[in-house]
Amino acid sequence: MGLTYQSTRGGEKEVTASMAILQGLAKDGGLFMPSGIPELDVPLEKLASMTYQETAYEVMKLFLTDYTEAELKDCIARAYDSKFDTEEIAPLAKADGAYYLELYHGSTIAFKDMALSILPHLMTTAARKNHVDREIVILTATSGDTGKAAMAGFADVPGTRIIVFYPKDGVSKVQELQMRTQKGDNTSVVAIRGNFDDAQTGVKKIFGDKDLEAELAGKGFRFSSANSINIGRLVPQIVYYVYAYAKLLEAGEIDKGEKINVVVPTGNFGNILAAYFAKRMGLPVKTLVCASNDNKVLYDFFTTGIYDRKREFILTNSPSMDILISSNLERLIYLSTGCDARANAALMRRLSEEGRYEVTPEMRVFMSDFAGGFATQEQDAATIRRLFDDTGYLIDTHTGVAAAVYANYRKESGDGTKTVIASTASPYKFSHSVMEAIAGREGLEGKDEFEIVDALSALSGVAVPQAVEEIRHAAVRHNRECGVGDMKNEVKDILGIS
Ligand SMILES: *Cc1c(COP(=O)(O)O)cnc(C)c1O
């Protein structure tokens, strides 16, 4: 038997990879974790000459051990195709001494495409393998990017429906339009009068509702998740770190065995956790720099060992990182306890009941591969502007947080290790804030969203991506809105079972 999966809270064990993907969240509210982290079994020098798709297979086969070679290769081929605007899928750009790993060349121009292009295929394959014939209802909370990427992946996929909840005033104009113009009869979008944490907590609550589950089962539905709590999101995200290292090796930018640092603009802790998994698989990575915006709960955690969500939620110009409850941190906490599900469950209970927990000194030592940093909105904007003025390279506001944190980390630590910065969105997804960063308020005056897009293109010389052109004239198809307490009723209404 290959790798199995278990809940971080101990309530479920020995689940296959395909079942873990199908379920999304474990029944006890925990997250699925593999029974061990496998080592890469192909030398990096060999990976250096491989395509993205070939690399994806070499990484994912080690985790998704109950998928056949043909199944996995088929999922990979369907996911990483011409939906991406470059054959490299995740190209590296060198600017100002760092390597920007551009993860935004997929159909919705944010890094969520990297995993959400393949998740629908992994999930429908899992349903087939496990003889599941109920319709899969994907419930997703989004801080702006997951929702669109998940809908793009699941739109019109037979046997699936997708319902997305986003914070009404917490996303960019482009993000909102991208979601509300989504096509596909199986897609639904709901704006909630609350923030991302409210949306995520509400979705988790619906998952844990046993009565609703039974009611749905009777009507031929089962829930799953496209959020990064699904292990089917995490595994495809490991691939691009391995790929980036291999491509740096191929280009002669690093020597065999040379360690690199990785900086990741972080929200739900999924992307950086994937980088950590890559390190544990044997990728030569030294430090993982976790970059936060003004919602710096993770910075505080890595510097004090105390996780405290009881604080003001700040809406920033990097909205996909406006999060106070970083779900995937639970996986790291679990590992740091020596995979002690009971100890982890106790901490998570404290988080939900008291809003805070503290880890032990031993657990902190375990996490010493991580360094925390944060950047304010002003620092973010100044960094975007400086990089653009100095090099002509344009980054979005999330990547700007990472770049600002990196500059600070480098200065304070004196650590000159070569560094990959995860670039998580196209600057066009946040045109308004990016334009303001490089041209000041005058750059925005009298312009609507699409005039800003065009001005940004004229100024930067970067072509407007197809994903933005598509929404310029698209009709709005989704108008639902509800309060935080009404999410369950909204789901029932959408599914026609109320
Ligand atoms: C989702 C997102 C992030 C945060 O990633 P996590 O995996 O949630 O930490 C950062 N930047 C952008 C643009 C995103 O869409």
Which amino acid residue places its CA nearest to atom 1 of ligand 1?
Answer: 320
> Ligand 1 center to residue 228 CA distance, Å?
10
Assess contact for 101 and 115: CB atoms under 8 A. no
> Ligand 1 center to residue 304 CA distance, Å?
23
Nearest to 44 by CA among 288, 249, 285, 260: 249
Please return the burial class of 439, using the count of CB atoms within 10 Å of its CB with bins 0-12, 13-18 and 19+.
middle
DSSP string, 343-410: HHHHHHHHHHHHSEEE--HHHHHHTTTEEEEE--HHHHHHHHHHHHHHH-----HHHHHHHHHHHHHH
Maximum CA pair distance of the chain?
63
Average the pLDDT over 12-40 and give the result: 95
> Ligand 1 center to residue 322 CA distance, Å?
9
More confident residue, 48 or 169: 48
Average pLDDT value over all residues in the chain: 96
- For ligand 1, what atom is nearest to the CA of residue 269? 9
- Alpha-carbon distance of 328 to 200, in angstroms, equals 12
Q: Which residues contact 328 (CB under 8 A, 6 or more apart)?
A: 31, 228, 229, 234, 268, 269, 270, 273
What pLDDT score does 208 carry? Answer: 87
pLDDT tens sequence across 351-371: 999 999 999 999 999 999 999
Residue type, 248: L
Please return the burial class of 252, using the count of CB atoms within 10 Å of its CB with bins 0-12, 13-18 and 19+.
exposed
Residue type, 132: V
- Alpha-carbon distance of 154 to 232, in angstroms, equals 14
Which amino acid residue places its CA nearest to atom 2 of ligand 1?
Answer: 320
- For ligand 1, what atom is nearest to the CA of residue 270? 7
pLDDT at 124 over 70: yes
> Ligand 1 center to residue 496 CA distance, Å?
32
- Alpha-carbon distance of 229 to 269, in angstroms, equals 10
Token pair of 19, please? 């079942």
- Alpha-carbon distance of 104 to 472, in angstroms, equals 19
Which residue among 398, 426, 430 is best mutated to probe the pocket of ligand 1, counting the most ligand atoms within 8 A of its Cβ? 398
> Ligand 1 center to residue 223 CA distance, Å?
23
- For ligand 1, what atom is nearest to the CA of residue 266? 9
H or E stretch including 21?
Answer: helix 17-23
Strand order in 260-265's β-sheet?
Answer: 92-95, 98-102, 419-423, 260-265, 285-292, 370-374
Buried b (16+ CB within 10 A) or exposed e, 341-372: bebbbebbeebeeeeebebeeebbebbeebbb
pLDDT tens sequence across 166-185: 999 999 888 999 999 999 99
Please return the burial class of 185, using the count of CB atoms within 10 Å of its CB with bins 0-12, 13-18 and 19+.
exposed
| Residue 13 burial (CB count, 10 A) | 12
103 phi, psi to nearest 5 deg? -100, 20
pLDDT tens sequence across 197-223: 999 899 989 988 999 999 999 999 999
Q: Counting every residue, how long is the chain? A: 498
> Ligand 1 center to residue 242 CA distance, Å?
19
> Ligand 1 center to residue 398 CA distance, Å?
8
Confidence band for 1, pLDDT divided at 50, 70 and 90: low
User: Does residue 284 sit in helix, strand or coil?
Assistant: coil
Token pair of 285, please? 């990575």
Which residue among 102, 164, 172, 320 is best mutated to probe the pocket of ligand 1, counting the most ligand atoms within 8 A of its Cβ? 320
- For ligand 1, what atom is nearest to the CA of residue 112? 15
- For ligand 1, what atom is nearest to the CA of residue 425? 13
Q: Using a 6 Å CB cutoff, which residues line ligand 1? A: 110-112, 145, 228, 265-271, 320-321, 398, 424-425
- For ligand 1, what atom is nearest to the CA of residue 111? 15
More confident residue, 172 or 382: 382
Could you tell me what percent of the chain has a pLDDT over 90?
Answer: 93
- Alpha-carbon distance of 307 to 305, in angstroms, equals 7
- pTM for this model (two decimals): 0.96
Could you tell me what percent of the chain has a pLDDT over 70?
Answer: 100
> Ligand 1 center to residue 298 CA distance, Å?
14
> Ligand 1 center to residue 268 CA distance, Å?
7
Please give the domain boundaries of the chain with CATH numbers for all domains.
92-109+232-431 (3.40.50.1100), 135-219+465-497 (3.40.50.1100), 432-464 (no CATH)
H or E stretch including 125?
Answer: helix 119-129
- Alpha-carbon distance of 29 to 38, in angstroms, equals 25
Average the pLDDT over 473-478 and give the result: 94
Which residue among 109, 148, 424 is best mutated to probe the pocket of ligand 1, counting the most ligand atoms within 8 A of its Cβ? 424
